[in-house]
Structure 1
Amino acid sequence: MRIALAQMSMGTAIAGNVDTSVALIAQAADRHADMIVFPEIQYSPFFPQYPASDTPLDAAGYAMHIDDPAIQAIREACKANRIMACPNVYLEHDDGRRYDTTLVIDAQGRVLGMQGMVHIAQAERFYERDYYTPDDAIRVIGTPFGDIGVCVCFDRHYPETIRTLALRGADLVIIPTANTSAEPEEMFLQEVRVQAFQNSVNIAMCNRVGVEDAMRFDGRSVVVGPDGQVIAMAGEEPELLVADLDLAAAKAMRDAKPYTRLRRPELYV
């Protein structure tokens, strides 16, 4: 499959972010991509950089239900351009709880599944527990190209997340993220490469770019094969990164080098 990573910056207006997202979908389709992946909370500034008790942003104003026009715009663009998309939104459920959620939408505009962030950070510039409810499951979502797992940003720092997705048959793990230049960039790249290798799975990590108050988002979105090798990597500016992936290679790698099948979970804590 051909995958596109929409490395983009976000403004304060949802409508402008929608327009950017829809335009990137069309560009990805023009480059014959089968799927486009977006960064974390693509319709808003990164409001979790502020504690909820001291924020200049109306975070609640960026929360949206599944039938919101901003989500519908992505679904319609998928159908019009015959491409899959994985947008990440601040999703409000019917019970009022809000999640950092990635949707998997097919080329007919249908929602195949969704995954929220499971592990919620609470640290300087990442006051995410003030805003997000943790998801209570780790899911693999079937698509026409293969089985896909979503690992939302902070979840990738827990090896159990990607390992669980691989054990459940994911051929590709996508990571919508918000990595900053203040964080150890090289470590983040190696973290993704090592987990792709150890779990014999393709990984595509899509990051934000731009400066938002005290945060500078680093870009450097990356696609890694199941052998841990970098297939494609973006720079630090807005970019549509396109790469070809062999999803079947993940299963072949697991057969050739059966790291996951030789596990001894009875010994693990």
Structure 2
Amino acid sequence: MATASTVLALFQGIATNKDVKANLSKMREQTIKAKEAGASIIVFPELFLTGYYLTAEEMRDVAQPNTGEAFQELSALAKETGVAILYGYPERVISEDGFKCYNSAQLIDKEGQSILNHRKVHLWIDDEGYRWEDVFTPAENFSEIVECCGFKIGVLICYDVEFPEAVRTLVLRGANLILVPTAVADQWIRPLVEHVIPARAYENRVHVAYVNNTGSRFDGKSVCCNENGETIASAGEGEEMVMATVTLSGAKSWHVRDRRPALYEK
């Protein structure tokens, strides 16, 4: 059976709140470094375009449509470098229902085309009562699976991956690589990178790249796990980029094969 292999660049960085220009400059710098290191795809953290802890008003002020100025700049960068780019950003949508803001992640292929735009489904309420539903609208479905760099890619954002059903949904749609921009504080990150992410990879026989913010309240420790749930790349707590070579074996998950959905529906 033919195998596919590609190199991912996982950049866990410190975004400057409300300074899109500064964050785009850092994304350019890191994408060029990723190209020089042989990467085909670079993954940036959740809401990296704008910074994370903003008020609802601040987030709406810096939100952009998925075809906005930031996309145009990153599209040109992807074409220039030949590196696909996944980045987190607040997405502005104006429709008949009025203004909405989504916590989104967009994947741009090496030709500069937007091929996937996932809107976060599960919104977190933290211990201090910070309600993301006061800032964002939760999406009502998952993004489609797309082919890129030899893989069938699905995207989740942060809290989404903590629900087994979310990962299983993407795998049942054909995903063999799941990319997860995230923003997790230090008290939560260890069980996630040591247990949850490896379990999601193992039980679905799928690669999972989990890319965290760092600095301020965030603790880095980004990881990439292979189809066996083994960690093949990991970062420390500071700002850095780590490389992960993912290779598709073609093996199927027995957990997917042996499902009994009729029982679960009961």
TM-score in same-fold range (> 0.5) = yes
| Stretch moving more, 9-18 or 132-141 | 132-141
More displaced stretch, 96-105 vs 198-207:
96-105
> For 1:20-35, what aligned pairs fall within 5 Å after superposition?
20-35=26-41
> 2: distance between equivalents of 1:131 and 1:145?
36
CA contact (8 A) 1:227 1:253 kept: no
Whole-angstrom CA distance in 2 between matches of 1:205 and 1:45: 18
Letter in 1 for 2:134: D
Q: Deviations over 1:194-245 (max 9, x none)?
A: 110001100000000001xxxx201011010010000010000111111100
Match of 1:175 among 163, 180, 188: 180
User: d(CA) in 2 for partners of 1:176 and 1:66?
Assistant: 17
Return the alpha-carbon distance in structure 2 between the equivalents of residues 37 and 144 of structure 1. Answer: 14
Task: Give the structure 1 partner of residue 3 of structure 2.
Answer: none
Matched, 1:129 2:152: no
Counting only pairs closer than 5 Å after superposition, residues 148-227 of structure 1 correspond to structure 2 as: 148-183=153-188, 185-211=190-216, 216-227=217-228
Q: Quick check: which one's strand share is greater?
A: 2
Number of residue pairs the alignment of both structures matches: 254
Distance 1:184 1:10, change over 3 A: closer
Taking the TM superposition and a 5 Å limit, the aligned residue runs for 1:1-269 are 1-12=6-17, 13-47=19-53, 52=56, 58-95=58-95, 96-124=99-127, 126-138=130-142, 139-183=144-188, 185-211=190-216, 216-246=217-247, 248-249=248-249, 252-254=250-252, 257-269=253-265
Distance 1:154 1:10, change over 3 A: same
Which consecutive unaligned segments of at least 5 residues does structure 2 have? Answer: 1-5
Q: Which secondary structure does the structure 2 equivalent of 1:114 belong to?
A: strand
AA aligned to 2:152 is: D
Measured in 2, the distance between the counterparts of 1:134 and 1:121 equals 10
1:268 aligned partner, one-letter code: Y
**Structure 1 counterpart SS, 2:35:** helix
C-alpha distance in 1 between matches for 2:59 and 2:115: 27
Matched residues, percent identical? 27
Query: Structure 1: any 5+ residue segments left out of the alignment?
Result: none
Deviations for 1:64-103, whole angstroms, at most 9, x for unmatched residues? Answer: 1123222211111100001101111101123221111111
* Separation of aligned partners in 2, 1:46 and 1:26: 24
Q: Root-mean-square deviation (CA), in Å? A: 1.5
SS at match of 1:71: helix
Provide the secondary structure at the position in 1 that maps to 2:127: coil
More displaced, 119-128 or 142-151? Answer: 119-128
Distance, in Å, in 1 between the alignment partners of 2:192 and 2:107 is: 28
**Displacement over 6 Å in runs of 4+:** none
What is the letter of the counterpart of residue 120 of structure 2?
M
Helix, strand or coil at the partner of 1:58 = helix
Conserved 8 A contact 1:221-1:235: yes
Contact 1:89 1:101 in 2 (8 A): yes
TM-score w.r.t. structure 2 length? 0.91
One-letter code of the match for 1:42? F
**TM-superposition CA deviations, 1:142-174 (whole Å, max 9, x none):** 224221000111101111000111111101001
